[in-house]
Amino acid sequence: MKSLDKLWSIADKESEKTKRKFSLVFDPIGLILIRPLENMGYESTPINSLTFAHTGGDGVHYSLVTLEGNVSEASPVVMTVPMNYPKVNLVVGENLHEFLCLGEQLGYFFLEQLVYNEAETIEWFLHPKEFINKEYGINPSGAFPPDSFREKERLLSILRKEFELKSWSNLKSRLDELQNKFMSMLEFRTETT
């Protein structure tokens, strides 16, 4: 899969440069990478998906939905938030590229808030500067972004450049469209008696 291979290649280069473990290179932006892909095995994880990253918080993970048994460039991305029963899955991209575009401003750890409070979270996505100021505080010099966000911004900038990421427009309607188009594809374990 071209996009995933590219993401892994970028992480390998960053790992070599920063001496951070491959899986943790993008941890500051909420993507702890998993290689090789695996199904996380939570009851709420679709059985027809393979996880490529998790956030490191409350079991939240991002998976590629398999198509005809394999992941491909056309595989939708599903976010699983095991702690938010009954709304534990949300399709967050028609493919890996669209998913990366969704988090290009605020990172990927924050995406789980879409299942907890969609309306407020969408507002933050529409006004990322305000969210960053609220979340990280104002830099004493008044510069933007605040110092505590600089490493996150550096990593997001790498992904923006390498993947030519652009923010989603019409966020709410696009999320609704993705749910309508792909949610029925997700398969889950059935209880046996």
- The residue ranges of every structural domain in the chain are 2-179
Residue 139 predicted with pLDDT over 80: no
Which single residue is written with the structure tokens 């019409």? 170
The pLDDT tens digits for 86-135 are 889 999 999 999 999 999 999 999 999 999 999 999 998 888 888 877 77
Residue 26 predicted with pLDDT over 60: yes
Angle in degrees, 0-180, between the axes of helices 118-126 and 128-136, rounded to the nearest 10: 100
pTM comes to 0.92
The pLDDT tens digits for 39-81 are 999 999 999 999 999 999 999 999 999 999 999 999 999 999 9
**pLDDT confidence bin for 193, thresholds 50/70/90:** very low
* Residue 43 to residue 181: CA distance in whole angstroms: 22
The H-or-E segment that residue 34 falls in is strand 32-38
Q: What DSSP character marks residue 45?
A: S
